[in-house]
Amino acid sequence: MNDQLAAFAEGRILYLNKPLHWTSFDVVNRVRGVLCRALGTKKLKVGHAGTLDPLATGVMVLCTGKATKQIDRLQAGVKEYVATLELGATTPSFDLEHPVDAHYPTEHITRALVDEVLQQFRGEIWQVPPVYSAVKIDGKRAYDYARKAQEVEIHPKLLVIDELEVLHFALPVLTIRVVCSKGTYIRALARDIGRALHSGAHLTALQRTRVGDVSLADCREIDELVADITAMTSEK
């Protein structure tokens, strides 16, 4: 077996740029499928260190083989995001997965007000995860209840926002950079910022730019990784 392929079987940590519209499972499934065919096996452990929503892009850390034992450590690293919010409108999922369900005034929102409101979200905060999320409630995912229009109580979580800054502001668009702890839902942060502005908000774009010390510059495109694995297969 090619030594590089053998390394995947033994255990490797991969840094990928998740494409738009792919689920985190799609990425894992794609990489696992390619590696299993290349290695001539039906089973290979592949996992990811931190879920990204389908409408988000950016840094995704995958582990293969024995490296999957490091997932908990890798997930614990701080995350950095660049998020674009549309102010004055909300959706049930707090992003573009669902259509706008309500509109709110934005005429009163100034850059000074935005700066004042964002100050509230720096440091330790309590955040209620979105109803359309993978949070478990009585053994089921929150989104399972939401899709059946069943109301459930989701308890708030204590999180840390290390950095929060405005990158762009021109009504109704607000783009922010967020450095935060594990478990932070940027969609929920958008919801809460909208409410604090006495308006509404939802995400229109989200990119994870860093996980721990790993940035986008360290990431490969999935097609590039697949092409390399395919080339290794021909060298076996």
- Active site residues per annotation: 53
| Residue-wise DSSP of 145-164 | HHHTT-------EEEEEEEE
> Distance from CA of residue 52 to its chain's centroid?
3
- Integer Cα distance of 163 and 123 in angstroms: 8
Q: For Cα atoms 88, 90, 95, give the angle at the middle one, nearest 5 degrees.
A: 120
The DSSP element (H or E) to which 4 belongs, if any, is: helix 3-10
Reference 206, options 95, 89, 75; nearest CA is 95
How far is 36 from 53, CA to CA, in rounded Å? 25
* Three-state SS annotation for 40-55: CCCCCCEEECCCCCCC
Which residue's structure tokens are 């080339």?
231
- Closest by CA position to 191, among listed 142, 124, 132, 144: 132
C-alpha distances in Å from residue 16, one per residue of 19, 58, 164? 9, 8, 25
